[in-house]
Structures are given as C-alpha cells and as structure tokens.
C-alpha cells in the first residue's frame, strides 16, 4: 500500500529531491496505528559512509530527525542537504510525520539536496567538504558521467585529499584497494599522472579543485527521471538551478529556463510544462507533455521542481497555502525551509559578528578609507577616529570578515573558472553590461526606495518635490528591474559553442523603443535636482540622508545616474560594434541600437553637462565656508586641488578652487563638518600667468591680478602644467563673458586683503590645515578631502571621464602576507573602489580612494604567479587584484588609470556654448 515505483535505481530521494515531510501516500490513506509516544531508533548513513543512530519519537516531524543530523555534524548550511531512502515498504512518509514499520532495518542516507551552480556560494569549509564527498559517491556509482580526462583529474584530487602527496607505491596500492570509478582500471595510469602533479596541495584545496571541475560537467547534480515524449521516444527529465532539463541518454537535448516556464503540473502519469508565449514564433506548442512510468513518479518529479524553483529563485520561504474548508483540489505542497539567499544572508550576518580586533592591512598612516557606523567614509590613513568596529576598535580600509584574512577560508585558486569562460570578447562585453546594470539598479533604489522612505514621513518635505521624484524615477527603476532580469537570463543561457547574445538587451527592435519612451523622464531629472535646492529645510533633510550607509556617494550623484547610464550603454555598444565583423549576425542590430542610444545621448548632452556642473557646484558649496553665492548661472567649475602658497611665513598648503570667473584659495577649517575656510579670491578678469620659478621654489608659477600677485607651487611638474593650462583657459573664458564679476566672499576684503588674511592666520589654524583627519566628521570622504591629503588635483574633465569610466564586477584581492586570494564584489565610481561581499549588498563595507595611486602590473620579483593581476600602490601601500579574463583585466586597468592619472586635457572653448 502506497508503494511507489522507482524512476531510477538510485532510490527515491527525500528532501533533496523530495524533502523529509513530502507526502508519498494517496489522499485518504492512514498510517499504521502506533503509540504516539513510542521512541524509535533510525540509522542514517553519512556521506563518508559511516552510520549514526538517532532516537526520535515515532510521530515526530521529519524535520526533527534532519535537525539532529545537522546538529551532529555542526552544519550551518544544512539546507543544501536532505535525506533519502530506498525501500518504500520499510519507510513511509506522510505530511511531516515519520512512520516506521521496521525501524531497525530502516537506513536513511544523508545526501546533497540542492546543487548550486557555483561552489563559491558555499560559505563554510565543512559544506564544501560534504559536497566533495557527494561528488566522490556520484563518481563511484556512475551518476556523474564525464570523459576519462575529467574523471582521472577528479579522482587524483580525491586521493590527494585522502593520502596526501604522491608516492608511487602507496598511490598504486591505494588505487588497488579503493574503487572511485566503475571502470577505474582502464585509466589508472592517467590518475597517477595527475596525482603526481598535486604535490603540496592541502585537503581543503583538493576539495575545492574537485568541486571546480565537477560543477562544469553537464551531469553535475543531475538525477534522471525516465519519461517519454509525445512520439514515444525514451527521454529523461531532470531539474537544476536554471530550470527543467531534458536528456536523451546522457546528452542534454533541451533546457527550459524558469523565466520561460509559466506553470508546471501533472495529470495522472503525464508531466506538463506550460511555457510563456513567444511573440517571435507564429506556430508553437505552449504546453509540453511527457509521459512518466506512474502517477507517483510524476508527482515526485513535480515536487522536486517546486523545491528547486523556490530554493534558487525566491528570496524567502513561500507562505503555506491556506487549507480549504470543504473541498480540496490539487496538491497543497509547498517548499519549506530557507532559500539559498536566506542561507547566504544568514552566514554573512553571522560572519559580521566575527570581525577581528585588528588587521595587518591597517598600519598607521595607511591612506585608506572605510565606512564607519554613521555611513560616511573615513580616511584612516591620516589618523581618523572614525570607522570603529562593534567594540569601538578601528577598522582598516579593507577590514571586515569580507576583507581580512582572519576568519576567511583562503582559496588560492578561487576563480580559476575564469579560464573556462567563453573566449569570445562579446561574452565579456555583455557581462560588463550585466555587472554595471546591477550597480545601476542599486543606485536607482537609493532614490526610489531609501530616500523616499527617509523623507516621506517628514511633513516639512514638499509634496510637490516628492511627487516629482516619484513620477520620474519610479518608472525608470521599474523598467530596469525587468531589464536586468532579461540580461541575467540571456547571459546565463550563453552557449559556449555559439558566442553571441541575440538582440543584446538594447536591441534595435526591443528595448531601445522602451528606452526612448523614458526620455521624457530623463529630461525631468535635472528639474528634480534643482527642486531639491528650493529650501533650507529640504537641503538639511538631504544632508541627513547622506549620512546613511546606503548613500555612499553625495545624493545628487544618484539623481544624475540615469543620464550617466546612457553614456555607458553607448560606450558598451561601441565596443561591441568594433568587435563584431560586418558579417556577424548581430552586427546590424548592434549598429542600429548604437544609433538609437547615440541620438538619445545627443538630445540630453546639453542637459547632462549643465547638471554635472550644477551638481559639482552644489557639492563644493557644502565643502566651503565663508562664501555667499557660489551657485550662480553661468559659473563653471574647472579644477580643484592642493597648491602651496608663498607668504611671509614660507610655503603654506592651501586648497585652490578654479571657476570660470575667479580663483579662490582655502585652508582646512575646524568646523564640525570639516569644511574648508576661504581666505582669498582672485578675479580672473585681467589676470596673467608666469610659469617661471620664483624665489628658487620648484614647480612654482606667479598669478598677476589687477590688485595683487600670488606665487604658488605645485607638487610636481605635471601638476603645475595642468594648473597653468586650466587657469589660462579660465582667463580666456572670463574675458569672453559679458556677465559682471561676482565676489564670492561673505565679507569683501580690501585691496590689501591678501596680506591681511595671511597675518591673521593663527598658529592653531595652520596646524589644523596640516593635520590629519583627526577631527574628521561626516564630510571627510569627499574628493576635496582626498585631494588635500594626497596633495593632488582633479578637473571637471576628470569628473566627466569618471562618469564614463564606471565599472562593477568580481575581483580577487591578495592577502598581504600570504598566497590567499579573496573574492569581492567591487564597484569603481567617483575615483574610488567600493568593496562589497556580493552584488546583493545594499551598502559598501569598505572603500579605497584612488587619487594619487599608481596602477601597474606586478614585477617578476614580486612572485605573483597568476594571470590578469594588477597592482595598486601609493608610497608604501600596495594591493594586488586579480580579474577573471584578459578583457576584464584591460577594462579594470583602463578605468582605474582614468582615476589615478589626471586628465591633461583642458575644457574645450566650445564648452561655454553648450550652456
């Protein structure tokens, strides 16, 4: 009674295929009558083939037994595993209760339940070890079909983990007495040759490499369920994280992605897959039908699909379906347990509580920046007191369980999978689109969710501004939500044998039409930026929001992200068009898409440049004190940076700000917001520049104004040339302008103001101007402060280049004093690298400003024996990062150089006309 015929000889799987607690009895059947309090002992066979006995109540929920097994193993990520049994006559499962007729003869097997696509998603070393044991078992029983080369390599890693380094006699004897493959004798020599090359590899490394090889096999995690198609052809069905798979023999002949499946159901012994309609096909079957051996087999496979879909696709456990009062129709089965995302979040949150007290990567004087508890980014390299850990300890620039060696399982070859990616450049161009789209959607979320939630309850915030932001950002956010899912789906389906992405997500016939409809919203984003400056109260609320960790950049930058994203699409399509030959199938579509995007960029270019300049003036307004009217029509920002000013007391470090009508200079103030105090203003009209050295000061030049002259010195010759070039260009703009000069200072100085300001500077202020970020508060993370401490400068051209050169993706970072590499999600924007544990994180855990850094490749003497590695160094501080491919390596080098090498270009004279 209740017997189910097996779809395969492997036995019916509970939980992992069919979880403990899945009903396998027909409705209406009742379990044997037993005493509810009776205790039974159940044997469980572990993955290492040992057996453990667990005592539970006979009517206990199945989850109780499974939890006992996980507790016995001290397994945190137990949701990847389940229990299976073979003999249905000895074990029957109904709902969430266990009923055993012969408990002494009942043996359950602890097995892997869900096979993730990437073993690096397994956070615990114990979990990876158990997965390695499952692969070992699958190889031995013939489930994991592969070629001889892969089989020999995997077995060699298993042997290395079990007996250590190769010894000819020992290894040969070990192979004679242990069976790892059904046909092991035929490739024994190949196994020993592979084992010979693994000298020095630890057991953990061997397990890692075993999983790395296994996850790329077509039969990885596949459990075949016999079926037939409409014509009676013998097939097999399986389910994976991507969807439902169809095999003929051991060859995959079809795959139905979850996003294409509308519904899965079964009717008697028929398994039905209803697909979403495809508008590109006129005649097609939207329902596929497969016949299985019995209704029970059909229902079993349906439940497996339900669990796989929920585990890999949902963010949280689905809520149970309410039971009907009178009649039931269909199955009420639902997935129960944590989803993969919940597991990852749980382990990550647990690791955050294990932050070490100190790090070797945070020496005093290190020019790093970290995110502190208030959400601002602090430069620890100058003695900041910000960025404290849970117990008040300082965090290093790359400190957290994410960025420190302590508490992290080092994987020396953590991302060797990169070598097996498609080699076509188009794949990596499409992947860059995906990774940057993820970051872009997170940035939009800051505006549409975080900001609106923060100010929505404040009555002082005008409803008109709220409605304006909501009306023009929410549609863009919703569009890109669907857009990102489509990009992820298409990239996941990328075929290694067909290196093309049909109708790249900005294809001419598809999304550009929708993007064009969003142009009206993009044109309104500049209005949103202006409206936020309408009142002092709104400005205060925006500043308060900037202190939240999710707002890792000045808020105004997030408002301009949609305009910047158009530039990224244009640049990505340009690279794709250069890559494709005219004969390529996608060439014409990409050229058409590029033409559409280019037209949109051209339409919005004037607005974009105005808003970038407006946003920069607003940002500088927050950094400066002692000025009244910085933001006025017609004024353009040109350059800011450190120069030394020659006075009666010698050279003094000053921060200079160059605009299209004036040059002002400041020193570090002592305000709570660490603003820079304005000391003087030099009108550009009638000014001349002499670049000859004065007073024997190297890299100096003299500014001759109508009222006074000033001698300043740059840190190096290139810096001096940039300043002189931009100042001369600004003088030309000032003389061409018909608008009168406006004095920036709150109190206009007299004609001899230059000497007056110099004499009134106290020693305390001078010390403060040279001090570190010791008194640093909430605004110690801006570009102005970084330039102050790195003694460098940036121009508006640099900011424009930075807008274009934004990048996101995974990088491996090398630990300082070991060979370990750590996988990070890295975002490059605003001259900085922001570090996350994964792209799903809402805010960065650490940040590293790159102004002043140099980017090179490691020397031979540095013993970095890896490909695609670049080095970042500033004085004595060095970091190594490793990318996945030659293309991504070149892209990271390109964008980082845009931040570390200041643009020598000056603003074109025609720029003024765009305003």
Q: Is 337 helix (H, G, I), strand (E, B) or coil?
A: coil
Q: Is 253 among the domain residues?
A: yes
User: Of residues 417 and 586, which shows the higher confidence score?
Assistant: 586
What is the Cα–Cα distance from 241 to 263, expressed in whole angstroms? 16
Q: Is 111 helix (H, G, I), strand (E, B) or coil?
A: strand
List, in sequence order, every residue forming a beta bridge with 644; answer none if it has no partner.
Answer: 653, 713
Q: Which pLDDT belongs to residue 908? A: 40
Q: What's the average model confidence in pLDDT over 413-439?
A: 73
pLDDT at 93 over 90: no
Rounded to 5 degrees, what angle do the CA atoms 847, 849, 851 make? 170
Read out DSSP for 419-436? GGS---HHHHHHHHHHHH
The domain boundary, picked from 308, 343, 378, lies at 343
% of the chain surpassing 70 pLDDT: 72
pLDDT tens digits, residue range 541-550? 888 888 888 9
pLDDT tens digits, residue range 652-676? 889 999 998 899 999 887 666 678 8
Of 341, 562, 316, nearest to 448 by C-alpha is 562
* Averaged pLDDT score across all residues of the chain: 75
Q: Are residues 116 and 164 in the same domain?
A: yes
Q: What's the average model confidence in pLDDT over 114-119?
A: 88
Q: Is 414 among the domain residues?
A: no
Q: Are residues 640 and 604 in the same domain?
A: no
What is the Cα–Cα distance from 141 to 182, expressed in whole angstroms? 7
Phi-psi region of 862 (alpha: psi -120 to 50; beta: other; left: phi over 0): alpha
Give phi and psi for 790, each to the nearest 5: -95, -5
Q: Is 563 among the domain residues?
A: yes
Distances (CA, A) of 674 to 535, 677, 856: 23, 9, 33
Distances (CA, A) of 789 to 452, 609, 779: 35, 28, 14
What is the Cα–Cα distance from 25 to 91, expressed in whole angstroms? 11
What is the Cα–Cα distance from 518 to 531, expressed in whole angstroms? 20
Read out DSSP for 573-641? HHHHHHHS-TTSTTHHHHHHHHHHHHHHHHHHHHHHHHHHHHHHHHHHHHHEESBS----TT--EEEEE
Q: Specify the CATH number for the domain of residue 287.
A: 2.30.29.30
pLDDT at 680 over 70: yes
What is the Cα–Cα distance from 788 to 782, expressed in whole angstroms? 10
14: which 2 tokens?
């509970």
Q: Are residues 544 and 680 in the same domain?
A: no
Q: What's the average model confidence in pLDDT over 728-755?
A: 60
Q: Confirm if 884 and 421 have CB atoms less than 8 A apart.
A: yes
Of 427, 492, 421, nearest to 867 by C-alpha is 421
Distances (CA, A) of 215 to 117, 149, 150: 7, 15, 11
Of 185, 126, 128, nearest to 155 by C-alpha is 185
What is the Cα–Cα distance from 577 to 593, expressed in whole angstroms? 10
Of 662, 688, 679, 653, nearest to 758 by C-alpha is 679
Q: What's the average model confidence in pLDDT over 432-444?
A: 93
Q: Is 165 among the domain residues?
A: yes
Q: Which pLDDT belongs to residue 909? A: 37
pLDDT at 422 over 50: yes
The domain boundary, picked from 191, 215, 239, lies at 215
Count CB atoms within 10 A of the CB of residue 742.
15
- The angle that helices 519-531 and 561-579 make with each other, rounded to 10 degrees, is 140
Q: Provide the CB-side half-sphere exposure for 293 (13 A, CA).
A: 15
Q: Which pLDDT belongs to residue 443? A: 94
What is the Cα–Cα distance from 669 to 677, expressed in whole angstroms? 5
Which sign, positive or negative, has the C-alpha torsion 47, 50, 52, 58? positive
pLDDT tens digits, residue range 827-866? 999 999 999 988 989 989 888 999 889 999 998 888 888 8
Q: Confirm if 865 and 873 have CB atoms less than 8 A apart.
A: no
Count CB atoms within 10 A of the CB of residue 241.
18
Return the beta strands (E) in 773-905 as ranges: 793-795, 807-814, 821-829, 832-836, 846-849, 854-856, 869-874, 877-882
Domain that holds residue 303: 225-318+335-343
Q: Are residues 635 and 614 in the same domain?
A: no
What is the Cα–Cα distance from 304 to 115, expressed in whole angstroms? 13
243: which 2 tokens?
């969807």
Domain count along the chain: 5
pLDDT tens digits, residue range 730-743? 998 888 875 545 56
Q: Whole-angstrom distance between the N-terminal and C-terminal Cα of the chain? A: 83
Q: Specify the CATH number for the domain of residue 512.
A: 1.20.900.10
Q: Provide the CB-side half-sphere exposure for 536 (13 A, CA).
A: 0
44-48, 275-279, 692-696 — which is least confidently predicted?
A: 692-696
Q: Is 71 among the domain residues?
A: yes
Distances (CA, A) of 143 to 10, 27, 138, 706, 844: 9, 33, 5, 87, 42
What is the Cα–Cα distance from 4 to 27, expressed in whole angstroms? 14
Q: Is 856 among the domain residues?
A: yes
Considering only CA atoms, give the Rg of the chain: 32
Distances (CA, A) of 884 to 425, 603, 888: 13, 37, 7
Q: Which pLDDT belongs to residue 312? A: 87
Q: Specify the CATH number for the domain of residue 111.
A: 1.20.80.10
Q: Which pLDDT belongs to residue 136? A: 93
User: Of residues 314 and 438, which shows the higher confidence score?
Assistant: 438
Q: Which pLDDT belongs to residue 806? A: 92
Q: Is 840 helix (H, G, I), strand (E, B) or coil?
A: coil
Q: How many residues does the chain have?
A: 915
46-60, 221-235, 272-286, 806-820 — which is least confidently predicted?
A: 272-286
User: Of residues 2 and 657, which shows the higher confidence score?
Assistant: 657
pLDDT tens digits, residue range 180-214? 999 898 899 999 999 999 988 888 889 989 999 99
683: which 2 tokens?
């009108």
Interstrand relation of 624-625 and 97-100 (parallel, antiparallel or unpaired): unpaired
Q: What's the average model confidence in pLDDT over 329-354?
A: 71
What is the Cα–Cα distance from 710 to 318, expressed in whole angstroms? 70
Q: Are residues 48 and 150 in the same domain?
A: yes
Q: Are residues 128 and 174 in the same domain?
A: yes
Q: Are residues 200 and 265 in the same domain?
A: no
User: Of residues 276 and 738, which shows the higher confidence score?
Assistant: 276
pTM metric for this prediction? 0.56
Q: Which pLDDT belongs to residue 279? A: 59
Q: Are residues 604 and 710 in the same domain?
A: no
Strand order in the sheet with 846-849: 377-379, 369-371, 846-849, 832-836, 821-829, 807-814, 877-882, 869-874, 854-856
Burial class, 226, CB count within 10 angstroms (exposed 0-12 / middle 13-18 / buried 19+): middle
Q: Which pLDDT belongs to residue 692? A: 73
Q: What's the average model confidence in pLDDT over 870-887?
A: 90
pLDDT band at 112 (very low <50, low <70, confident <90, very high): very high
What is the Cα–Cα distance from 853 to 881, expressed in whole angstroms? 14
Q: Which pLDDT belongs to residue 781? A: 62
Q: Is 812 among the domain residues?
A: yes
Q: Are residues 284 and 314 in the same domain?
A: yes
Burial class, 185, CB count within 10 angstroms (exposed 0-12 / middle 13-18 / buried 19+): exposed
- The angle that helices 425-445 and 561-579 make with each other, rounded to 10 degrees, is 170
Q: Is 267 helix (H, G, I), strand (E, B) or coil?
A: strand
Q: Are residues 301 and 195 in the same domain?
A: no
The domain boundary, picked from 215, 240, 261, lies at 215
Q: Is 288 among the domain residues?
A: yes
Which single residue is written with the structure tokens 């498609």? 422
Who contacts 351 (Cβ-Cβ below 8 Å, separation ≥6)? 123, 401, 402, 407
% of the chain surpassing 90 pLDDT: 19
Q: Are residues 531 and 550 in the same domain?
A: yes
What is the Cα–Cα distance from 73 to 126, expressed in whole angstroms? 9
Q: Is 789 helix (H, G, I), strand (E, B) or coil?
A: helix
Of 694, 683, 729, nearest to 906 by C-alpha is 729
Q: Are residues 62 and 189 in the same domain?
A: yes
Q: Is 828 helix (H, G, I), strand (E, B) or coil?
A: strand
């Amino acid at each position: 009674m209740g017997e189910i015929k097996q779809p395969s000889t492997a036995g019916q799987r509970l939980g992992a295929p069919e979880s403990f607690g899945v009903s396998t009895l027909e409705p209406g059947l009742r379990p044997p009558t037993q005493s509810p309090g009776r205790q039974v002992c159940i044997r469980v066979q572990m993955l290492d083939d040992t057996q453990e006995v667990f005592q539970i109540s006979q009517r206990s929920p199945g989850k109780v037994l499974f939890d006992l097994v996980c507790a016995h193993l001290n397994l945190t990520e137990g949701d990847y595993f389940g229990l299976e049994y073979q003999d249905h006559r000895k074990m029957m499962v109904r709902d969430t209760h266990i009923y055993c007729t012969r408990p002494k003869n009942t043996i359950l097997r602890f097995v892997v339940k869900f096979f993730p696509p990437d073993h690096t998603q397994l956070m615990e070393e114990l979990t990876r070890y158990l997965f390695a044991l499952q692969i070992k078992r699958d190889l031995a029983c013939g489930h994991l079909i592969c070629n001889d080369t892969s089989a020999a390599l995997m077995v060699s890693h298993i042997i290395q983990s079990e007996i250590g380094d190769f010894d000819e006699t020992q290894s040969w004897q070990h192979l004679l007495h242990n069976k790892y493959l059904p046909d092991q004798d035929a490739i024994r020599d190949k196994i020993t040759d592979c084992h010979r090359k693994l000298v020095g590899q630890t057991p953990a490394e061997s397990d890692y490499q075993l999983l790395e090889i296994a996850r790329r096999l077509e039969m990885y995690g596949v459990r075949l369920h016999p079926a037939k198609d409409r014509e009676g052809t013998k097939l097999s069905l399986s389910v994976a994280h991507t969807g439902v798979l169809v095999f003929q023999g051991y060859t995959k002949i079809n795959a139905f992605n979850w996003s294409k499946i509308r519904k899965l159901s079964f009717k008697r012994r028929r398994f039905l897959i209803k697909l979403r309609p495809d508008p590109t096909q006129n005649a097609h079957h939207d329902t596929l039908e497969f016949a299985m051996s019995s209704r029970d087999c059909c229902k079993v496979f349906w439940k497996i699909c339900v669990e796989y879909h929920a585990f890999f696709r949902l963010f949280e456990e689905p809520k149970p379906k309410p039971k009907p009062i009178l009649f039931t129709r269909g199955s009420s089965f639902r997935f129960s347990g944590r989803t993969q995302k919940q597991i990852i979040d749980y382990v990550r949150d647990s690791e955050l509580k294990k932050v070490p007290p100190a790090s070797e990567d945070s020496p005093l004087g290190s020019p790093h920046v970290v995110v502190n508890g208030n959400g601002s980014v602090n430069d620890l390299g100058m003695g900041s007191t910000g960025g404290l850990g849970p117990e008040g300890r300082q965090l290093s620039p790359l400190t957290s369980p994410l960025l420190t060696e302590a508490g992290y399982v080092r994987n020396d070859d953590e991302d060797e999978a990169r070598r097996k990616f498609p080699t076509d450049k188009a794949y990596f161009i499409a992947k860059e689109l995906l990774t940057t789209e993820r970051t872009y959607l997170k940035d939009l979320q800051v505006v549409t969710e975080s900001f609106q939630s923060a100010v929505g309850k404040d009555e002082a915030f005008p409803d008109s501004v709220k409605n304006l932001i909501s009306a023009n950002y929410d549609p863009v956010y919703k569009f890109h939500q669907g857009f990102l899912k489509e990009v992820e789906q298409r990239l996941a389906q990328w075929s290694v044998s067909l290196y093309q992405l049909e109708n790249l997500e900005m294809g001419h016939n598809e999304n550009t039409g929708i993007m064009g409809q969003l142009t009206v919203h993009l044109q309104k984003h500049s209005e949103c930026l202006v409206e936020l400056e309408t009142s002092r109260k709104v400005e205060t609320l925006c500043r308060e929001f900037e202190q939240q960790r999710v707002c890792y950049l000045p808020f105004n930058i997030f408002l301009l992200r949609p305009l910047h994203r158009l530039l990224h699409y244009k640049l990505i399509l340009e690279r794709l068009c250069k890559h494709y030959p005219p004969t390529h199938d996608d060439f014409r579509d990409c050229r058409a898409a590029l033409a559409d995007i280019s037209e949109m960029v051209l339409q919005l270019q004037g607005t974009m440049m105005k808003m970038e300049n407006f946003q920069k003036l607003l940002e500088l307004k927050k950094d400066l004190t002692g000025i009244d009217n910085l933001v006025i029509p017609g004024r353009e920002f040109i350059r800011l940076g450190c120069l030394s000013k020659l006075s009666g007391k010698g050279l003094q470090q000053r921060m200079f700000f160059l605009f299209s009508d004036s040059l002002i200079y400041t020193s570090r103030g002592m305000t709570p917001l660490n603003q820079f105090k304005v000391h003087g203003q030099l009108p550009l009209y009638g000014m001349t520049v002499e670049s000859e050295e004065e007073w024997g000061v190297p890299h100096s030049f003299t500014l001759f104004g109508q009222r006074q002259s000033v001698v300043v010195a740059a840190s190096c010759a290139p810096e001096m040339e940039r300043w002189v070039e931009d100042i001369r260009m600004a003088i030309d703009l000032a003389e061409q302008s018909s608008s009168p000069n406006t004095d920036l200072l709150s109190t206009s100085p007299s004609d001899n103001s230059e000497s007056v300001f110099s004499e009134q500077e106290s020693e305390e202020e001078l010390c403060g101007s040279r001090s570190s970020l010791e008194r640093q508060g909430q605004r110690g993370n801006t570009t102005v402060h970084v330039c102050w401490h790195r003694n460098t400068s940036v121009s508006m051209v640099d900011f424009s280049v930075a807008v274009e050169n934004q990048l996101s993706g995974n990088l491996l970072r090398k630990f300082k004093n070991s060979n370990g590499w750590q996988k990070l999600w890295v975002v490059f924007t605003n001259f900085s690298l922001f570090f996350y544990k994964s792209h799903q994180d809402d805010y960065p855990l650490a940040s590293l400003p790159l102004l002043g850094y140099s980017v090179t490749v490691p020397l031979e003497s540095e013993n970095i024996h890896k490909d695609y590695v670049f080095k970042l160094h500033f004085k004595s501080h060095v970091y190594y990062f490793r990318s996945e491919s030659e293309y991504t390596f070149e892209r990271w080098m390109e964008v980082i150089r845009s931040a570390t090498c200041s643009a020598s270009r000056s603003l074109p004279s025609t720029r003024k006309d765009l305003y």
